[in-house]
Amino acid sequence: MPKQRITKEMVVNAAFEIARSSGIEQVMVKNIADKLGCSVQPIYSYCKNMDGLRQDVTEKVNCFIQEYVASHMDKNDLFRSSGQSYIQLAKEEPHLFRIFILHQRKGISSLNDLYQSETNPNIAKYIADKLHISLSKAKQLHLNMLIYTIGIGTIFSVTTPGILTDEIYTQ
């Protein structure tokens, strides 16, 4: 059997780029094949089903977002800048933000579970130290910021022509 020039990594990267520019609902075998300039056969050989490919894309989105947020945070103002970086992400990458927000999260049955899975525990410690409050109050404040940021980021990513960034940051 001759070696294929299309790799699974190429398929996932093409699917990611389609999701980034047009949304996860446009991640279809034909669109991936068109993007790669090949037939649909190599895509089918790597992807047993679209759910698996979409999961791979979601994992790539999560890695992208972690790197994005980390690179846009101000080390001297972690709390505020983490919220602002998510809002900036919603503005610059609305499709990726929606994938991140709307993907299925397994094993989450409480807000505490969500907090544990979605946040860096060092930020709560930073908040507690900076504001001279207990760690439990800092975690609650951080959870509230997470919930608020998800909500306002979602609004920001789905409005047209869009709410001004300054208005969002004021909130």
- Per-residue pLDDT of 8-62, as tens digits, reads 999 999 999 999 999 999 999 999 999 999 999 889 888 778 888 999 999 999 9
Structure tokens at 39: 């037939």
Distance CA 106, CA 169 (A): 31
Q: Under a CB-based contact definition with an 8 Å cutoff, are residues 156 and 148 in contact?
A: no
Structure confidence at residue 4 as a pLDDT band (50, 70, 90): low
Structure tokens at 14: 């093409």
pLDDT of residue 5: 85
The end-to-end CA distance of the chain, in Å, is 59
> Tens digits of per-residue pLDDT, 113-123?
988 888 877 88
Q: pTM (2 decimals)?
A: 0.78
Most confident of 77-81, 90-94, 119-123: 90-94
Which of 54-63, 94-103, 116-125, 162-171 is the least confident region?
A: 162-171
DSSP 75: T
Neighbouring CB atoms inside 10 A of 50's CB total: 15
Instruction: Choose among 90, 41, 42, 47: nearest CA to 65.
Output: 90
pLDDT of residue 77: 82
Structure confidence at residue 155 as a pLDDT band (50, 70, 90): confident
94 preceded by a cis bond (ω within 30 of 0) = no
DSSP 120: -
